[in-house]
Amino acid sequence: MDDALARLLTGYPPVGESSGPEATVERVLDAALEEFVEVGLRRATVGAIAGRAGVAPATIYRRIGQRDALVTAVIAREVMRGLAATATAFAAAEDPTEKVVEGFATAVEFLNGHPLLARTVEFEVDMVARLFTADAEVLLGLARAAVTDELARLGETVGVSVRDPGAATEVLVRFGHSLALTPSRDLLADAGSARTFARKVFVPMVFDSE
């Protein structure tokens, strides 16, 4: 998994800004996501995905790799999309505590509403276990880097005191990882309940009270 993921993440263009060869990869990943949601990770074939994308199977093999690499690439892109949406929500909020609240609520909405995650958790739980446990370290590292960067920027720009950025990052990332493995349909059923939870649990954890 690490080789395919590193290949995807190195120099990967921002979502919606790809062109040329990158646009072809985006089209393939869009088609793969649709195929995975419709038939599942196990039953999806490179041939079917190539047909959806309007490319030859050889193009997929050349630009991305075998089917397992394609699964990895789709998961990686969706993680990046989730992190980008979270960062956008974080930046849009003006109050420091609401940045954390809105970032967390956006992450919960993304996880709860993602069609591929919902399908795999329900029908292919062993695949979820592999993707988000044994093969998860690179993705967790990506999430840690993104959260660490946001918390560091928060302290520097707004002038608030972040209690322990390293510890806060690890808890936030591990909590998100847990939600990916076992979605919460009660306590964190929607953005509103996620905001309430974040204000009670994460805000006191992230910020010094002084």
Give CA–CA dist 35/159, Å, rounded: 47
The pLDDT tens digits of the residues spanning 13-41 come to: 444 444 456 889 999 999 999 999 999 98
Per DSSP, 14 falls in state: P
Domain limits, the chain:
2-206
- Write down the pLDDT at residue 134: 65
Query: What mean pLDDT is predicted for residues 129-137?
Result: 70
**Average pLDDT over the chain, rounded to whole?**
83
pLDDT by residue (tens digit) across 111-128?
888 898 888 877 777 776
Percent of the chain with pLDDT over 90: 41
Q: Does domain 2-206 have CATH number 1.10.357.10?
A: yes
Question: Given this model, what pLDDT does residue 157 score?
Answer: 67
Q: Which pLDDT belongs to residue 12?
A: 44
Q: Mean pLDDT over residues 127-133, rounded?
A: 69
DSSP letter, residue 39: H
Question: In whole angstroms, what is the distance from residue 42 CA to residue 144 CA?
Answer: 29
- Half-sphere exposure at residue 199, Cβ-oriented, CA atoms within 13 angstroms: 9
Q: How many helices (H) and strands (E) does the chain have?
A: 12, 0
Nearest residue to 98 via CA among 1, 195, 171, 190: 195
Q: Render 152-185 in DSSP notation, one character per residue.
A: HHHHHHH---BS-HHHHHHHHHHHHHHHHHS--S
pLDDT at 14: 44
Write down the pTM of the prediction.
Answer: 0.81
196 alpha carbon, distance to own chain's centre:
22
What the block records as the tokens of 98 is 């609401």
